[in-house]
Amino acid sequence: MDKNLLNSIVSHIFSNFAIVEADFINLEKTKSLASKDFLLNNKLSFYLDDNTLIENKVFGCQVSSEGSEIKILLGDCSISEDKEYCMVVKMKDSPAYGLYTAADSNSILACSINDQDWMDCSTYLQATFLAGMEQIKELCLNWNKCYSYDQEYNILLSFIKYSNSVLEE
């Protein structure tokens, strides 16, 4: 797997949602997924080594088009000043995709058929997912705040566990 390509793909997708900065995104015209407009009630809880509890925000958006529904949840996984994010993308009746990015460029892009077990995406799946995300962007769909997202929140938690295990290796 080409780690530089993976980092570029993941960074590009997070940039498209105005989560990380990029030259090609006009932040005056693009609403960030990490804005209060998409803030959900759920939190992500992390314990530091000294048992300090950190509770971070979860954001979500969704769009429906031609009978399909796509929900995207973004979790702030930061435990220090360095920003870390996990995102899950779930299209109705399709595999879930999970993305992780951090300041140190340790990116992950994985998919899950059953919403619990994850596998790293091959270069082909990375490119296919990127193409799908670009197609969604080009359609200029109107994203709405997520509702009825319990399944996607559980997928996000599952992906965070997976990404933590990958990063610990």
d(CA 28, CA 80): 27
* Predicted pLDDT of residue 118: 97
Question: What residues of the chain score a pLDDT lower than 70?
Answer: 1, 21-30, 104, 140-141, 169
Q: What is the pLDDT of residues 89-119, one digit of tens each?
A: 998 888 999 999 987 678 999 999 898 999 9
Q: 128-135: long-range contacts at Cβ-Cβ below 8 A with a sequence spacing of 24 or more?
A: 129/9, 129/89, 129/97, 130/9, 130/12, 130/13, 133/13, 133/16, 133/89, 134/16
pTM for the predicted model, two decimal places: 0.90
Long-range contacts of 147-150, Cβ-Cβ distance < 8 Å, separation of 24 or more: 147/62, 149/40, 149/60, 149/62, 149/71, 149/73
CA 130 to CA 56: how far, in whole Å?
27
Report the distance separating Cα 40 and Cα 43, nearest Å. Answer: 8
